[in-house]
Structure 1
Amino acid sequence: MKSKFDNAAANYDHTFTNSVIGKTQRRFVYHHVSKFLKNNPVKNILEINCGTGEDAIWLAKQNFEVVATDISEEMILIAQSKEKLDNLTFEQLNINEISILSGNEKFDLIFSNFGGLNCLSKEELKSFFESVPNLVSEKGYLALVFMPKNTLWEAFYFFAKAKFSLAFRRKKESVIANVDGEKVNTFYYNPKDIVNLSGNDFEIISIKPIGFFIPPSYLEPFFKNKLKLLSILKNLDEAIKNCSFLSKYADHYLIVFQKK
C-alpha cells in the first residue's frame, strides 16, 4: 500500500529526528518512558507509527523485545537500514488494520510517539481503542504521544505573523498538515478527548506535557542558531515536566493507560 509518508521518509530524520527541537522533545518523552519502564513489569513492546525507527532502536537497546510497525514501506526500509538487533523486528502495518495482530503474541506495552495517532479520525481512533485490548497482556499498558488542540506556541506564532485564521487551526475537526511536502489530514485531541474515546478497558495512569516551552519543530529554522535561548526553554520545560494540567497547551503530550 502506497503511503503519503513514503515521500516524506527520505527527509524525515533531517527535518525532525536529528533537529535540535526534535532531539529536545524526544529527550522528554524518553525521560517519562524510562521512568515508567523502570517501575513497571514490561518485557515486550509493540510500537505503532514507528517512522524511521529511532524510538524502536532506543527501546530495543534497553533490552526489551520490540516489534515496530508503520504504514510507510519507505519509513520501514530506512528503519531497517539503521541497526540490526536480535530483539527488534520492523513490519509494515496500517494502524487501521491493527486488529489483524489479534490472536498472536500479546504485548506488555503499546507505544506511539509524536502524533502518529493524530492521523486517525475520531471514528478510527475509537476503533483503535476497541482493537488494542486484544493485543495487550493482562494489566498491560498504552503509552501514546498526541498533539493537542490548544498549543500556545502555535497561537503565538501565527498571531505574530498576522495569520489570525491559522492561530487556532487545531480546534477545527481536521487540518491539512504539511509533512515534508506531503498533505496529511490531521486531527487534534486534548487529553479529555482521548479519555472519552478510550472506552472502558483502560484507566489513566499519567499525562505529561511534551514541549510546553520548547516550540514546535517547524520553528527549527529560527531556533537552531539560538541554542542559549533553546537551553533556557528546555530548563523551563524541565521545571514543569510533571504539570499534567499544562498538557493540552503543549506541542505534544504523553498519556499512559493501563488495561483494567
Structure 2
Amino acid sequence: MIAEHPAGRAFDTMADTYDDDFTQSDVGQAQRSAVMKDAFRIFPGRRRLLELNCGTGEDALRFAENGWRVLALDASERMIACARVRRENLGARDNPQFRQVATEDLREIAGEFDGVFSNFSGLNCVRDLAPVARMLAEKTTPGSPLLLCMSTRVCLWETAWYLLHAKPAKAFRRWTGRHQAMLQGMPVDVYYPTLNTLKQAFRPHFRLRGVRAIGLFVPPSYVESWIQKRPLLLRIFVRLDAMFSRLPLLRKLGDHMLLHFEKTGEAV
C-alpha cells in the first residue's frame, strides 16, 4: 500500500521545504530548464500526459499552462498535497490532476496517454523497471514518447567533489549500482542502472531515441551553496552543458541522464 512505500514516506518529510531546497535553487532551475527545453520539443502539444514522481507539481503545472492535460502521480502523500495547494493558488481546478500512486502501482490508474514524463530520479527508487515499462506500454498510444530523467551510475561532479573533500565512500556511492540513501533519517534504496540496462528494461515496448546529460558541468544540488556565490561560472556551465551533453561518452557522466524513448508497435 502507498502508506508503506519507503520512498513515499521519506519524501513526505521533505515535501514542505522541497521547493526552497531544490526547485527554486540555482542548480535546480538550471537543470530543470535543460530538461524542460527537451520536453517541449519532444512531446506533442495539447494532448494527455502522464507524469510519474511529480513531487510538488512544478513540471505538471508548467505542462498544464501550455495546453497539456496532465495526470501527475507521486508515492508521497505530502508531495501530492503540496502540489494541489500550488494548483489552487494558481486558480486551476482539474488540470493537472494529482494522485498519490506509486510507480509500481500504475495499474491502478485508468485512461490512455500520449506521453510519459518523469523528472529528477524518481525512477531510481524502483528496483526493477521492466514491469513498469510493460504497464506504461499498456497505457500509451502508438508512437508515444517517454522522457525520463534518471540519476547516472557515474557522476563526474560527485566523484571529484567528494574526493576533494576526502569522502571516498560518497565519491563512489553510485558505482555499485545501489546505495541506501538517508532522507531525513529514513533509509531509501536508490538504484543506478546503466544505460544498457535501461534499454533492456524498456524493450521491446519502447526504443531509445536519444540520451543527453543533465548536470554534466552544472553541479549536483548539494553544491548549491558553492555555486550560488559564482553566478558567472554557473552561466558558463549551462552553456557547456548545451554544447557537450549529447556526446556519446559524456552523456552518461552527468548528475542525470535524460532518456527519450518511443513506443514501438510490439504487442504488450
TM-score range, shorter-chain basis? over 0.9
Distance in 2 (CA, whole Å) between partners of 1:62 and 1:41 is 8
Q: Residue 74 of structure 1: SS of its match in structure 2?
A: helix
* C-alpha RMSD of matched pairs (Å): 1.6
1:242: how far off?
Answer: 3.2
Residue 21 of structure 1 aligns with which residue? 27
Deviations 1:143-174 (A, max 9, x none): 11110111100110111012223322101241
Residues 95-244 of structure 1: matches in 2 within 5 Å? 95-101=103-109, 104-121=110-127, 124-244=128-248
List alignment gaps of at least 5 residues for structure 1: none
Partner letter of residue 19 of structure 1? S
195 and 187 in structure 1: CA distance in 2 versus 1, 3 angstrom threshold: same
Q: Secondary structure at the match of 1:186?
A: strand
Q: Flag as ranges the 4+ runs of structure 1 deviating above 4 A.
A: none
The one-character-per-residue Cα deviations of 1:49-94 (angstroms, maximum 9, x if unpaired) are 0000000001101100000010111000100001243431111101
TM-score of the superposed pair, with normalisation by structure 1 = 0.92
Q: For 1:251, give the aligned amino acid.
A: D
- Alignment partner, residue 254 of structure 1: 258
Matching of residue 54 in structure 1 with residue 62 in structure 2? no
Secondary structure of 2:72 counterpart = strand
Q: State the AA in 2 paired with 1:59.
A: F
In 2: Cα distance, 1:82 partner to 1:168 partner: 37
**Deviating more after overlay: 167-176 vs 139-148:** 167-176
Q: Higher mean Cα deviation, 124-133 or 246-255?
A: 124-133
Which residue is 2:87 aligned to?
A: 83
Provide, for residues 182-234 of structure 1, a one-character-per-residue CA deviation record: whole Å limited to 9, x for no partner: 43211112322210211211111111111100011011121112111111211
Q: 1:241 offset after TM fit, Å?
A: 3.7
83-92 vs 248-257, which deviates more?
A: 83-92
Distance 1:90 1:100 in 2: 14
Q: How far apart, in 2, do the equivalents of 1:173 and 1:88 lie? A: 34
Q: Give the TM-score of the pair, scaled to structure 2.
A: 0.90
**Structure 2 segments unaligned to the other structure (5+ residues):** 4-8
